[in-house]
Structure 1
Amino acid sequence: MAGVATGRTAGVRRRPLVLTRQPAQAGAVEADLAAAGLDVRFCPLTDFELSGEPGPLRAVVARVEAGECAWLVLTSPNTVRALQAAGWTGGVGGSTKVAVTGAGTARVLAELGCTAEPWMPEQASAAGILADFPSVEPAGRCAADAAMMADGADVAGDAGDRSVPQGADADVAVPQGAVPQGVDADVSDPHEAPASLVLLPQSALATGELTSGLEAKGWHVARVEAYRTVPYPADPLRRLLPEPQGGADHAGELDRRGDTAGPAPGAGSARTARPGHGAARPGHGAARASHGAARASHDAARPGHRAARTGHDAPVGEMAEAGAVVVPVAGLAGHDVVLTSPSAARELATHHGLDDERVRLTSRLVAIGRPTAAEARRLGLELSAVAQTPDAEGILRALGHGLSLQEAGGTAEVDGEYAEPGPLRDALVAAILAGEKTATSALLRDYEAAQEPLPRAGTRERVLDSAGQVAAVVEVTGVTVVPLGRVPHWHVVAEGEGHRDVRAWRAAHEEFWGGALPDETEVVLIQLTRIA
Structure 2
Amino acid sequence: MGRHSAVKSGEPRFLEGARVLVTRSPDRAAPLVAALREAGAEPFLLPLIDFERARDQHSLEVALDGLRAGAYGWLVVSSITTVRALKEKAAERRLELKDLIPDSVRIATIGPSSRRVLEAEGIPVDLAPEDIQSAAGLVAVWPAGPVNVLLPQADIADAELAAGIEAMGAVVQAVTAYHTVDYPASPGQRLTAALAAANGWQPGNGSGAPELTPAAAKSELSSGRLHAVVAASPSAARRIHNSLAPLKDCRFIAIGRSTAAEAAALGIPVAAIAKEPTPAGIVTALRTVFDTEGNES
Does the pair score TM above 0.5? yes
Question: Which residue does 1:275 correspond to in 2?
Answer: none
Report the AA paired with residue 162 of structure 2.
Answer: T
**1:379, distance to aligned residue in structure 2 (A):** 2.0
1:342 aligns with 2:229: no
Q: Could you say what secondary structure the match of 2:81 adopts?
A: helix
**Sequence identity (%):** 36
Aligned CA distance change for structure 1 residues 322 and 403 (closer, same or farther; 3 Å)? closer
For residues 425-504 of structure 1, the aligned pairs below 5 Å read 473=297
1:220 maps to what in 2?
A: 171
* TM-score of the two chains, using structure 1 as the length reference: 0.45
Whether the aligned pair in 1 keeps the contact of 2:27 and 2:207 (CA below 8 Å) is no
Letter in 2 for 1:328: T
User: Is the CA contact (8 Å cut-off) linking 2:150 and 2:172 kept in structure 1?
Assistant: yes
CA change 1:79–1:347 in 2 (3 A) is: same
Q: Which residue of 2 aligns with 1:101?
A: 110
Answer whether contact 1:24 1:242 (CA < 8 A) is retained: no
Match of 1:323 among 208, 213, 226: 208
Write out aligned runs for 1:25-44 (5 A).
25-26=28-29, 28-44=31-47
CA–CA separation in structure 2 for the residues paired with 1:236 and 1:134: 41
Measure, in 1, the Cα distance between the counterparts of 2:229 and 2:76.
31
* 1:125 corresponds to: 134
Per the alignment, residue 69 of structure 2 pairs with 66
What is the TM-score normalised by the length of structure 2? 0.76
Q: Deviations over 1:107-143 (max 9, x none)?
A: 33234443x444322232111111111111xxx5xxx
Output the CA distance in 2 between the equivalents of 1:94 and 1:228: 29
CA distance, structure 1, for counterparts of residue 125 and residue 263 of structure 2: 36
Q: How far apart, in 2, do the equivalents of 1:124 and 1:383 lie?
A: 19
| Structure 1 pair 128–384 and aligned structure 2 pair: CA distance change class (3 A) | closer
1:368-410 Cα shifts (integer Å, max 9, x gaps): 2332122123223344444344334543444346977xx6565
Alignment of 1:64-463 (within 5 A): 64-87=67-90, 89-91=97-99, 92-114=101-123, 116-122=124-130, 123-136=132-145, 196-241=147-192, 321=206, 323-332=208-217, 333=220, 334-335=225-226, 336-351=228-243, 360-361=247-248, 363-400=250-287, 410=295, 412=296
Aligned residues: 264
Instruction: From the CA coordinates, give the structure whose radius of gyration is larger.
Output: 1
Alpha-carbon distance in structure 2 between the residues aligned to 1:23 and 1:391: 16
Report the Cα distance in structure 1 between the residues aligned to 2:282 and 2:116, rounded to whole angstroms.
21
1:198–1:13: structure 2 CA closer, same or farther, 3 Å change rule? closer
Unpaired runs of 5+ in structure 1?
1-7, 141-195, 244-318, 413-472, 474-532
1:306 — aligned with what?
Answer: none
8 Å contact kept, 1:68–1:96: no
Q: Does the 8 A contact of 1:338 with 1:366 survive in 2?
A: yes
**Higher alpha-carbon deviation: 233-242 or 377-386:** 377-386
Aligned equivalent of 1:313:
none
Matched AA of 2:257? R
* Counterparts of 1:384 and 1:216, CA distance in 2: 33
CA distance in 2, matches of 1:330, 1:218: 49
Cα distance in 2 for residues equivalent to 1:12 and 1:324: 16
The separation in 2 between residues aligned to 1:27 and 1:110, in whole angstroms, is 19
> 2:49·2:183 contact (CA, 8 Å) conserved in 1?
yes
| Cα 1:45–1:70 shift into 2, 3 Å | same
Distance 1:58 1:393 in 2: 36
Runs of 5+ consecutive residues of structure 2 not aligned to the other structure: 1-6, 195-203
Instruction: Check the 8 A contact 2:84/2:193 in 1, yes or no.
Output: no
CA RMSD of aligned residues (A): 3.1
SS of the residue corresponding to residue 52 of structure 2 reads strand
Write the letter of the residue equivalent to 1:343: S
Mapped contact 2:231–2:259 kept (Cα < 8 A): yes
Q: Cα deviations across residues 478-518 of structure 1 (Å, max 9, x unaligned)?
A: xxxxxxxxxxxxxxxxxxxxxxxxxxxxxxxxxxxxxxxxx
TM-superposition CA deviations, 1:267-321 (whole Å, max 9, x none): xxxxxxxxxxxxxxxxxxxxxxxxxxxxxxxxxxxxxxxxxxxxxxxxxxxx993
Partners of 1:102 and 1:369 in 2: CA distance? 10
Instruction: Determine the C-alpha separation between the residues in 2 that align with 1:84 and 1:209.
Output: 25
Deviation at 1:15, TM superposition (A): 2.4
Question: 1:389 and 1:94, CA in 2 relative to 1: closer, same or farther beyond 3 A?
Answer: closer
Query: 2:197 maps to which residue?
Result: none
